[in-house]
Amino acid sequence: MNYFQSSSSMIIVALLTIGFSYVHSVSAEEVGERWGTEERERAYYPIVNIPLPKETVIEAGAFATLPDGRVAVGTRHGEIYIIDGIDDEKPNPRFHRFASGLDEIFGLSWKDQSLLVTQSCELTRVSDSDGDRIADRFETISDAWGYANYHEYAFGSKPDSAGNLFIALGLSESYHSYALNRGFIMKVAPDGATTAFASGLRSPGGIGHDEHGALFYIESQGPWNCSCSLKAVTKGSFHGHPASFPWYKTAPELGPVPVMPTSGTRVVTERQRVAQLAPYAVIFPYIRMGRSITAFTVNQTRGKFGPFENQLFLGDYTQSIVMRATTEQVKGVWQGACYPFREGLSTGILSVEFTPQGKLLTGGTNRGWPVRGIKPFALERIEWNGKMPFEIERVTIEPEGFKLTFTKPLSQEVGQLPESYKVFGFTHPYHAGYGGPEIEKHQPMMQSVEISPDGSSAKIKIDRLQPGFVYELDCSRLRSIDDESLLHHHAFYTVNEIPDKVGDVVNGK
């Protein structure tokens, strides 16, 4: 995925996208439903524009919250602004340019009175040594990777509990690995020591930890990836694209080069051949759930953002939307579900971050790719107004189906009916082609429904539950005890492992 090609080539890029990617057909009913949903979303989660200084271009690529509550934003142009007043009820914040001269900032963290900045060429410590509020010290922490092409982006995590950062390196020109370690994830220790940590990346969009402290990165649709996905990263793991294999010779810490994957198979079967291959933790069905997913952040606002504590919130560039995801570990393997959340943002979203007051700050640009939002760049925040939406709060797996938890109690009359739930399964080919179709589609038969006594959850049992499949849950018939319909009717769960018993699952509950 190319976020930042010149605007004069946007039409060419769009045509190439149509030519090389599988386009999921979207019905008129789906389109109508989505636009109608945006109006309903506004009743619970309004979007507030953050005014920008006149003649200032802020194409936000990364955010960081400072200890005093101010927010730093790193931009595509390599500038860092410090923003004061981002959480004001009627925002009119003050912007101060702290640094410039950097390159495509896609990672930003505050540590020890400095900002740690992930830019395409290196991880840099940026600080103000003389106290004049302007950065004057730029120290290279790590540059243990190559950079020679405009598309060789680097995405940085926040520090983990031990102070390590993880850098996800996109391929050269999105397809090749011409420069050192491109397609790797690098681990940078607090002292700057850098080692290769994982391989097989194609075009990452963000990297970070979930509420459990597990490391994940976002992968874009493209070769060896039929849809965007959230992938769990462990030391030595391989994430599907073989272009980075030549750099194993410089990274003995990764171990042996993985077996070359076979194009045209399935990830679930290739896992038996390729020992290091990590399956997709959460697949985002193309177009229905994003088209070019970018950064993510964890909601740990202690209820300030509504009922979705400890869930991931993810931006999407092309569709100008924010989505949710939940993760759980089954038999030692990560998997989970994704859910619609908020449409109607003004530009392509590159970064999201919760503010000190629990509002979701979003930013980005429309440069280089057709996007739904109409503004060339914007800063906006999504905030919860205190009204409780009726939503699928979370989907978790059961030995023979799923458990759905809701934000409001179900109507027992409707909720106990098996026909109130529709389940559809599909998978993707694992191949070297760009994108790919949903295949082996089927509709499992509903066998039973069990509603909790308080109506807050429903366990559904189906006759066909298989590893390697995505299950779409359509709950459009459900009603709350107040006769409300769900704000969003669908969720999509990716199954890698099936528990034998409830104790096989570790999730956020």
pLDDT, tens digit, 9 for 90 and up, residues 255-298: 999 999 999 999 999 999 999 999 999 999 999 999 999 999 99
Under-50 pLDDT residues of the chain: 1-35, 508-509
Asked whether 175 and 223 are in contact (CB, 8 A), the reply is yes
Class of the domain covering 7-382: mainly beta
CA distance 107 to 203: 15
pLDDT attached to residue 220: 96
For residue 338, the cross-strand partners are 325, 492
Residue 396 DSSP class: E
How far from 450 is each of 22, 126, 412, 418, 499, CA to CA, in Å?
38, 55, 10, 9, 18
Q: Which two tokens stand for residue 53?
A: 């200084």
Residue keyed to tokens 């082996």 = 440
Q: Which two tokens stand for residue 57?
A: 């271009």
φ/ψ of 243, rounded to 5, equals: -60, -25
Listing DSSP states for 209-230 in one string gives E-TTS-EEEEE-SBBTBSSEEE
Query: Strand 154-156 and strand 333-342: pairing?
Result: unpaired
Residues 6+ positions from 187 with CB-CB distance below 8 Å: 164, 165, 166, 194, 195, 196, 197
CA distance 156 to 31: 35
Write the single-letter amino acid at 376: P
For residue 172, the cross-strand partners are 176
Q: Which two tokens stand for residue 273?
A: 């051949």
Domain boundaries, the chain: 7-382, 392-507
Question: What fold does the segment set 392-507 form as a domain?
Answer: Immunoglobulin-like (2.60.40)
pLDDT attached to residue 36: 63
pLDDT attached to residue 38: 85
pLDDT attached to residue 358: 98
pLDDT attached to residue 156: 98
pLDDT, tens digit, 9 for 90 and up, residues 367-381: 877 899 999 999 999
How far from 243 is each of 76, 132, 204, CA to CA, in Å?
26, 46, 14
CA distance 421 to 167: 41
φ/ψ of 418, rounded to 5, equals: -55, -30
pLDDT, tens digit, 9 for 90 and up, residues 496-506: 999 997 667 77
How far from 268 is each of 23, 280, 430, 473, CA to CA, in Å?
23, 10, 9, 21
φ/ψ of 342, rounded to 5, equals: -145, 125
Picking from 492, 473, 480, the residue whose alpha carbon sits closest to that of residue 422 is 473
pLDDT attached to residue 45: 98
Picking from 465, 478, 472, 470, the residue whose alpha carbon sits closest to that of residue 490 is 472
User: How many Cβ atoms are within 10 Å of 143's Cβ, its own excluded?
Assistant: 15
CA distance 343 to 99: 32
